[in-house]
Structure 1
Amino acid sequence: MVQITGKYKLAENKNFLEFLLAVGMPEDKAKEGNKIAGTLDVKIDGKKISLANDTPPYVTNLVLDEEVDEKLGEDQFKSTATLSGNVITVTSKTKEGELAATRTYTFSDSELGTTITAYRDGKTVSASRIYKRV
């Protein structure tokens, strides 16, 4: 089985700037966010998952198979994480219960691939980020 816990350095963005713009981030902040190449520290302790970014500093705490409150940017969501083999999937819903976003974290021995998909105003936009294990 692939080791999930570890530190990962962002190596590549695919469609991330377009994603940030599509979800309503101002252009100057989106361009700045697209340039960030920080490190993601992933920890799993039983059912608890921690995803800690160092740039900008931000920690997401999830519990497998349980809905938790999660703040993403300025918005509040109800998020549920599942684990299947080497893949963590996070599904986020609005407070009204509508699907807002999914994030898929796919781990290998050498990297972490993430796919972020947002559902907004009847449109779907996705981006990918590739991290190298450090």
Structure 2
Amino acid sequence: MANFVGKWELAESINFQEYMVAIGVEEEKRKIASQVLGVGSKMTHEFSVNGDEWTLKIWTQNGEKEIKFKLGQEFDSATLDGRPVKVMFNKDGDKLIETQKGATFESINERTVSGDELTMLMTGGGVTCTRKYRRV
């Protein structure tokens, strides 16, 4: 899983609007998300690992969010639009699987790395969004 460690900048996003609708993001927040989480926004993810504790830092135009987690341990968090969720990360072969469960939705976020590209498939409400990041 060491191939996830590093900094990744969003380079491509497919079906993001449809995904946000499917998981119940309000229209006004979808407009904001398109600007601060879209391609060209310089949205960045950074993974680091210390022993069995992972850290995921997310930078957007609206600020920074840091998540610390251990594989297989559920924790409380919030979506980037502020809704409370239960989150768990697991690995499945070379995939890092994040499950988010909110009051009205569930999203499975599957990340894989191939060379200098991280691909994230986000599936919720029957819709899948593909987001590709480049190592920086």
- Contact conserved, 1:2 with 1:109, CA < 8 A, in 2? no
Report how far residue 23 of structure 1 moved: 2.5
Alignment of 1:11-90 (within 5 A): 11-34=11-34, 35=38, 36-55=41-60, 56=62, 57-72=64-79, 73-90=81-98
- Contact conserved, 2:23 with 2:105, CA < 8 A, in 1? no
Mapped to 1, the partners of 2:111 and 2:65 lie a distance apart of: 17
Deviations 1:32-87 (A, max 9, x none): 32233311111122222222111132222221011111211332222221123431
Count of residues in correspondence between the two structures: 128
* Percent identity for Structure 1 against Structure 2: 27
Alignment of 1:88-127 (within 5 A): 88-94=96-102, 100-119=106-125, 124-127=126-129
Match for residue 6 of structure 1?
Answer: 6
The structure richer in strand per residue is 1
Across the aligned residues of Structure 1 and Structure 2, the Cα RMSD in angstroms comes to 2.3
Report how far residue 28 of structure 1 moved: 4.2
Moved over 3 A (4+): 26-29
Deviations 1:96-127 (A, max 9, x none): xx8711111111221100011123xxxx2221
What TM-score do the two structures reach when normalised by structure 2? 0.79
**1:90 is matched by which residue type in structure 2?**
E
| Alignment CA distance shift 1:37-1:27 (3 Å) | farther
- Contact conserved, 1:2 with 1:107, CA < 8 A, in 2? no
Match for residue 132 of structure 1?
Answer: 134
What TM-score do the two structures reach when normalised by structure 1? 0.81
**2:4 is matched by which residue type in structure 1?**
I
SS of alignment partner, residue 24 of structure 1: coil
Q: What stretches of structure 1 of length at least 5 have no aligned partner?
A: none
